Structures are given as C-alpha cells and as structure tokens.
Structure 1
Amino acid sequence: MTEAHRQLPFRVRMDWGLDGARAIGEDAATTVVVDVLSFTTAVTVAVDDGIVVLPYRWSDDGAAAHAARHAAVLAVRRSAAGPGDLTLSPASIRAAAGVDRLVLPSPNGSTIAAHLLDHGAEVLAGALRNASAVADWVTTRHGVDGGTVAVVAAGERWPGDTLRPAVEDLWGAGAVVAALLRAGWTSASPEARAAAAAFTEARADLPARLRTCAGGAELAATGHGADVDIAAELDHSPSVPVLDAGGFRDARATAGT
C-alpha cells in the first residue's frame, strides 16, 4: 500500500469498505465509519436511547454466545425476525423497551468497526442523522486540521461478496466531511471533497433520494421503508457513538459532558 493510497498528507480522508478502512483508518487519530442503511443509523438510534451497541462480524457463528457473555440482546436478521425482535432495522430499535445492551452484527459497518477496534483505532459511528454532531466533536477533540480523520463509507456486498459502493454511504460520508469543512478544516483529500460535493448536491432532496436509490428501494420493497425515513433524519441526533471494548456509547457521556 502506497502513501498515495493512504491519502497522505491530507488530514481528512475518505475511502470505501474494509480495504479502504485499512488504508486510511488504522493510523488515523479518529475513524468515522458510515453505513447509512443501516448499521450506523441503527447505532445512532440506539445510543440516543442509552443502549450500548456491540458490533459483531456478520460471518462469525458465535454471536449468540457473545451476546450471552455481555448480557446483551442479540439482533437477528430482518428476514428471521418475529414480533418484538430487534434487528438492523432502526425502526425496531426505536420501538424497543427495556434493552440496555445490543449485539448488532452486520456484514459491512459492524465488521469494519470491529476490525478497526482490534487495530487500536478510535472509531466513531457516523450517519446522516449525526454528521454535524460527529464533526463538532472531532473538531473540539483535535482542533481544526489538528488530527487525521478517516471517513469510511462502508458500502454493501454483491452476491459474490465483492464491494458494492452504495450512494447512501457516499452521501453519509460526504455529510461528515462537509460538516468538517464548515467547521474550518482545510486539509481534505480529493476523495473526501468529492464525497462532500455529492452530499451537497443531494441535500435539498435527500429523503426522496434515499427512498429511490438502490439500497432504499430494496428496503422499501421488503417492508422496511420506515428505516429509510429514519436514515434521512439529517442532523436529528446529537449522539457521537464512540467504540471501545464495551461497545458503542455516546462520547459526550463518556467525557462527562
């Protein structure tokens, strides 16, 4: 991997998927993982309600044992969910009651976040719902251009398990970058600036864009249109979910603010 692939020497970087996270995120001061439909949106909804979210790699078979060890509820696949079950659906989490800890597997955002944590990175969950809150917290923590921020658009998977770039994650990553630029950050890679430009172009029509993009249309066709509507709640969440060994929690609370 070359310095060019790592987007050096830029302070704000953006790339795709697990390989992109390895390239730009493992040595960054802060890495923001963005998986709009639906992992990081689900994390923001959970953390807004005080639920600690433990990410878990989708391909692992030990999720139930992991949840038991941590006294957590295990989210099930949407296709296998019964009444009252929690899933990757943000709507299911918003409707939950009496849940303190949630193991939330996903093949993209959750897997990337778990990998980065294993490599010692500071990991935040970013989404359209909390893009400005994340940028404000990062700016307060590091100062303008004072640290390296890697923004990772998780993307989706094709049936052959190759990366499918997902436009909703481009918009979500771009929302974080655009908020950093508004806060005064100037050292952003061309990749990061391109994501910000894509978000800015879509912003005025964001709910409709999300409903009609491939990922949103897929969820709506399977009865999960409410999840798309929640994902479109631009800057409704003040939470900044930060990951440690105990799961995603609001960084503001862990800092005593």
Structure 2
Amino acid sequence: MSEFPEWSTQSSAGVGFDWGLAGARALGPKCVAVVVVDVLSFSTAVSVAVDGGTHVLPYPWCDGGAAEFAAEHDAELAVGRSAVSERQPWSLSPAALRRAPAPARLVLPSPNGSAISAAVTSIPVIAACLRNASAVADWIVGQGWGTVQQPIAVIAAGEHWPGRDVLRPAVEDWIGAAAVIAALAARGVGALSPEALAAMAGYGAVGDIRALVCDCASGRELATLGFGDDVAVAIELDSSRAVPVLVDGRFADAS
C-alpha cells in the first residue's frame, strides 16, 4: 500500500503538479515520468552542463559520500558555489559551469532538485527549467506521454527555509513548472489536474517572467551572495533544445 492516500495522487489527470520530494513520491508511482523543476539552480545547472555534452549524476546534499561516489563513477565533483577553485571549477552555479571546462561526467549535489531526482526510481526523470521548457514539452509529446493512460508529474522542487527542514514554495520553481505545463497544454496534452491548471493560469497572468525571477526571494538571495549571474542564466527563456533525461543514474540529452 502506498504511503500516500489515493486522493492525493492526482491519478485522474494526464499532467499533475506538486511540490518537493513528498510531491514526487505521491505522484511518481502512478506516472511514466517525473519532470523536476529547480530553476535556481539545479535544473538550470543540469541544462547548461548537458548543453556542453556533460552527463550529470545527481546526488543528495551534504551526506559526506559525494567524493567517494564521484570517484566510483570516474566523475568530477561539483562543490559549493563559494568553494570553486582552479582545481574544482564546477559547482551548482550555472554561470560557473558555463565558464569551466566540460567534463565527461559530473556529480552535482543539491538539497532540492538533485535529491528529488536521486530519489525517483524505475521511471525517467526530466530536468526542466525556463531555458528548456518548450523543448521538454515537445519531447514529452513525442513520447506519447501526458495522457490519462500515460501520465506525467511536474514537480516544483522548492527551497528550504534557512535553518529549518521545512519546504519553502519558491515562486521561480512554480513559474518554471507552469512554463512546462503551459507548453504541454498548447500542444494538446491533457487532461491537466486542478493543481496543474491553477499553476498554468497563474503563469499566464505574469507579464515579465524575467523581472519576476530576478526580484523574487531566491533571485534576491543569489544576488546578495554575489551570484546574480546565475539568475541571468536561469532567465534565458527557451534558449536550449537539450532535454536532460535521467537514465541509469545519469542525465543526458535525449532530444
């Protein structure tokens, strides 16, 4: 028996929408794929890395085993933004990844999008962001997914409140997830769950998406820390046609 009640699974829809690891666990078992959206910055970082030909291995945040995991998989290890060095130029920063040499394989720990991706098993995980929302929708439609018979879940990763293990719904992830849902709806995919419909409706009401992401709490946080260039990369709307799909533990371009 599932740990989540039937009413919580949005099982009558072809496209569902929910938040965080719990949302992925609730909707994922009924779906053929999960779309993870972590705009600032995991899924944007994956998008940039995959654009450069890198395979990305997601890994949960700060459990102490990332270096060993990277060595086992003959991969480079991304470090914290402030720990970037000449020897380890890779981090969760999309701008830093763009500047660094592209490794063949990169372990990319993060507390939200990466942790969700690593926790989903048995079905493909797609990393979506504002850079590739339309490409992701095109690819999903090409698989024949997003129907009641072959449903997908779009999961906004969210953030955590500082010092607390409590989900902070992050508007940039909601906007990124809604961009994917809106692109799917424009291509005739459905039916959408009420949650997905509400996300899409809100997305349509936003005039300037770039300004919203820059001025939201997470965008301000990164700018305050000196990483405003990461926000600039995240708002390159539909600039990438790469579709990072997690198969056998690695995100690679499936487009």
The TM-score bracket by the shorter chain reads over 0.9
Which of 153, 157, 179 is matched with 2:160 structurally? Answer: 157
Could you say which residue in structure 1 is the equivalent of 2:189? 185
Could you give the per-residue CA deviations for residues 81-118 of structure 1, whole angstroms, max 9, x where no partner exists?
Answer: 235621100001111114211100000000000000xx
Shift of 1:194: 1.3
Structure 2 regions of 5+ residues with no counterpart? Answer: none
Question: 2:227 aligns to what?
Answer: 224
Deviations 1:139-192 (A, max 9, x none): 110156252010000000112111110000000000000000000023001111
Q: Identify if the C-alpha distance between structure 1 residues 143 and 36 changes in structure 2 by more than 3 Å, giving closer, same or farther.
A: closer
- Structure 1: state its 5+ residue gaps: 253-257
Indicate the SS of the match to 1:26: helix
Query: Which structure 1 residue ranges, 4+ long, deviate > 6 Å from structure 2?
Result: none
Residue 204 (structure 2) pairs with residue 200 (structure 1): yes
Preserved CA contact (<8 Å) 2:55 2:250: yes
**Correspondent of 2:27 among 17, 24, 28:** 24
Which whole-Å CA distance do the structure 1 matches of 2:146 and 2:230 have between them? Answer: 34
TM-score w.r.t. the length of structure 1 is 0.93
Aligned pairs (5 A) from 1:22-171: 22-83=25-86, 85-116=89-120, 119-142=121-144, 145=147, 147-158=150-161, 159-171=163-175
Q: For residues 205 and 50 of structure 2, what CA distance do their matches in structure 1 show?
A: 29
CA pair 213-129 structure 1, distance change in 2 beyond 3 A: same
Matched residue count: 249
Using the size of structure 2 for normalisation, the TM-score is 0.94
Contact 1:40 1:126 in 2 (8 A): yes
Secondary structure of 1:248's aligned partner: strand
The percentage of counterpart residues that share the same residue type is 53
CA distance in 2, matches of 1:51, 1:181: 30
Contact 2:15 2:146 in 1 (8 A): no
Cα distance in structure 1, aligned partners of 2:35 and 2:233? 20
Of 247, 251, 254, the residue aligned with 1:251 is 254
Q: Deviations over 1:3-27 (max 9, x none)?
A: 2200121110000000000001133
Cα RMSD for the two superposed structures? 1.3
Alpha-carbon separation, structure 2, partners of 1:167 and 1:189: 19
**Shift in CA distance, 106/144, structure 1 to aligned 2, threshold 3 Å:** closer
